[in-house]
Amino acid sequence: MDNALFDDLPPSQVIHTLAGTEHTLATEVPLAITLNGVNHAVMMVSPCQLEAFVTGFLLTEGIIAHHRDIHDLEFSREQDAIITHVTLANRCHQPWLQQKRSLAGRSGCGLCGLESLQAALPDLPVLPITALPDTELLTGLRAQLPEWQVLNRNCGALHGAFFVDHQGQIRHASEDVGRHNALDKLLGWQHHQPVRPEGMILMTSRCSIELVQKMVRSHNPTLLTLSAPTRLAVEQARHYRLNLIHLPYQQAPRVYAASAHSC
């Protein structure tokens, strides 16, 4: 990717309020994704880690199974918008065309634009049974966050997704104005590693059903969140054998779904 394309689109920028004081605000830009020349979706994103985002997005949409299914990936600009030109493998392109759906306006709940209930609640393979992490390892995660939330530290308006190893150490972070985007960026990074890292994923946001589905599609067995999950997210996590753990600010971790106890 030619980083010069985005020199004028930093993830955060300083602006002046009407009172004349300076404040740093997050940048949000439209990113259009085209697949083999066909428009697929327009997402509002923070203009950073975009290659990882596109890979993670296509993975969690079920369009590709591996980053090698992307034969080419190029970016271009149209004023303040970014265009992503993706060349898919034929084995992915044809199934996608048959199941093509409109994703226009997808930025709020994450399910807007879906054409059927089946698309909103897909029947995915359940995860293998995975042991819960030692809760002692989770108590120190919040203290590690400021070091990794570089963009959020400047403007306070970005979600974070973090890869946590089995020793309870954060190893990578992705940030974005959208919580779904932050997770897609992290999953794209994970998928591009020479040896896929295994561990847990931590999200700063609440856990909704879309995050559960992204975890299942990417074969990640344990999700930690700093905010409480929704009821439907818990039901789906139990169904798919996803370990779902909430880390309250001043209380012990709360296990809402455990792989070994899922139906």
Pair 23, 60: CB distance under 8 Å: no
- Tokens matching residue 92: 């992915």
**Residue located via tokens 């709940």:** 109
**DSSP sequence for 207-240:** B-HHHHHHHHHTT--EEEESSPBPHHHHHHHHHT
The phi, psi pair for 146, rounded to 5°, reads -55, -35
Instruction: Detail the DSSP E strand segments found in 17-99.
Output: 22-26, 29-35, 38-45, 70-78, 81-88
3 state DSSP class of 176: strand
Which tokens go with 77? 């600009």
**229 neighbors 244 (Cβ within 8 angstroms):** yes
Residues in the chain, total: 263
Structure-block tokens of residue 12:
């955060």
- The C-alpha torsion from 162 through 48 and 60 to 134, rounded to 10°, is 0
Q: Return d(Cα 261, Cα 173) in angstroms, integer.
A: 30
Q: Which two tokens stand for residue 95?
A: 């199934």
Catalytic residue (choose from 109, 155, 207, 263): 109
Asked about 92 being catalytic, the answer comes back as no
Provide the annotated active-site residues. Answer: 109
